[in-house]
Structure 1
Amino acid sequence: MRTMRPHLMRSLKALALALAVTGGAGLQPITARPAMAAEDGTSGLPVPRFVSLKADKVNVRNGPNKDHDVSWVFNRAGLPVEVTAEFETWRRIRDADGAEGWVYHSMLSLRRTALVAPWLKGETVPMRDAPNTDAKVVARLEPSVLGVVKTCDGKFCRLIGDGFDGYVQQSQLFGIYPNEKVE
């Protein structure tokens, strides 16, 4: 089991930075301000939420504008990330490792993807031919395999990728919330 302490510290540091940069503006839940969504540049969508990267190269910055330094660069389109805050046209995101930073909204897609158990080391995750634990295992997926989420019933998700199509337990995926349903 991974410890959450470093993740919480990064979250608190990112929140403190966002508050310092924005004076707290734009960090209230988006659902509480739907009338302002178009006016202030935010999406009006719920926060937090999972999205995916649109491009093979996505700069992640220390703050919500181009004047902030690039912290790191993602080099793989389709990776799932969690939007944890919005400020104007910028989105603070968290990746599967718990690292957070700001990306420009047009670098993100609403297409739902998931990584198979990126926290596992040296194990595989069974993919089944039906959404239950008694169903036949049709593949064993390595940690961090990327797939497109087609449906989730709260316990299993249908995941499709390069050479595989089947059902994985929802708890074994990064990119979908526990008990979340996707149709």
Structure 2
Amino acid sequence: MALAGLLLAWPSAAQDAEPPYWVSLKVDRANMRVGPDRSYPIDWVYVRRDLPLRVVRKSGGWRLVEDQDGARGWMLARFLSRDRTATVTVEGLAEIRAEGSPSAKLLWRAQPGVIGRLGECANGWCEFAIGDRRGWIAGESIWGEGPP
């Protein structure tokens, strides 16, 4: 019975984490406002589900988030997910390899701006999944990896 209570409480507890922490957009469209209320003007409109963001502050049901370009603003917490994602940021093409090593078999390459699901990271490499394709990418090639 106690286990069931813990499982039911987990999703809300995930949003109650103390900043900073990583999140991703769980909706196709979200407004970033200049303050933590719907009465504040919209500064940016994000139209990319799974976009990684960093939460830097909380105020009620609002989160002050930062994107990869350093833009900061307030979003409703309900638009955010604790699912980890990352964006390819390297110039040119990022290599996705079979294992976390520069000498591992090259599986494919990803363009800057591609977003993927982030798995475990170790020794400068991260598991990276785009759709049903999975591999390893150098941590220096993405934004959304490492300590928030």
Give the TM-score normalised by structure 1: 0.69
Match of 1:134 in 2: 103
Match of 2:18 among 23, 40, 46: 46
- Higher relative contact order (Cα pairs below 8 Å, separated by 6+ residues): 2
SS, match of residue 116 in structure 2: strand
1:76 Cα deviation from its structure 2 partner? 1.2
Residue by residue over 1:25-71, the C-alpha shift from the partner in whole angstroms, topping out at 9 and shown as x without a partner, is xxxxxxxxxxxxxxxxxx43131111000100101100011110111
- Structure 2 alignment gaps of length 5 or more: 1-14
2:54 aligned with 1:82: yes
Letter in 2 for 1:68: Y
Q: Gapped runs of 5+ residues in structure 1?
A: 1-42
Who is 1:113 aligned against?
85
Per-residue deviation, residues 136-176 of structure 1 (Å, max 9, x unmatched): 11111111111011221251111111353100011211111
Could you say which residue in structure 2 is the equivalent of 1:161?
130
1:139 and 1:164 in contact (8 A); partners too: no
Q: Are residues 1:56 and 2:25 paired?
A: no
Counterpart of 2:45 in structure 1: which amino acid? V
- The C-alpha deviation readout for 1:75-101, integer Å capped at 9, x for no partner, is 111110000111111100011111110
Equivalent residue letter for 1:49: Y
Using structure 2 for the length normalisation, give the TM-score. 0.84
Runs of 4+ in 1 over 2 A off after TM superposition: none
One-letter amino acid of the counterpart of residue 172, structure 1: S
Match of 1:147 in 2: 116
> Does the residue aligned with 1:171 lie in a helix, a strand or coil?
helix
Comparing 90-99 with 152-161, greater Cα deviation is found at: 152-161
Give, as a single letter, the amino acid of the residue that structure 2 aligns with 1:128.
R
CA distance in 1: counterparts of 2:139 and 2:54, whole angstroms:
16
Distance 1:143 1:48 in 2: 25
**Cα distance in 2, alignment partners of residues 84 and 57 from structure 1:** 21
Identical amino acids, percent of aligned pairs: 31
Letter in 1 for 2:33: R
Number of equivalences: 135
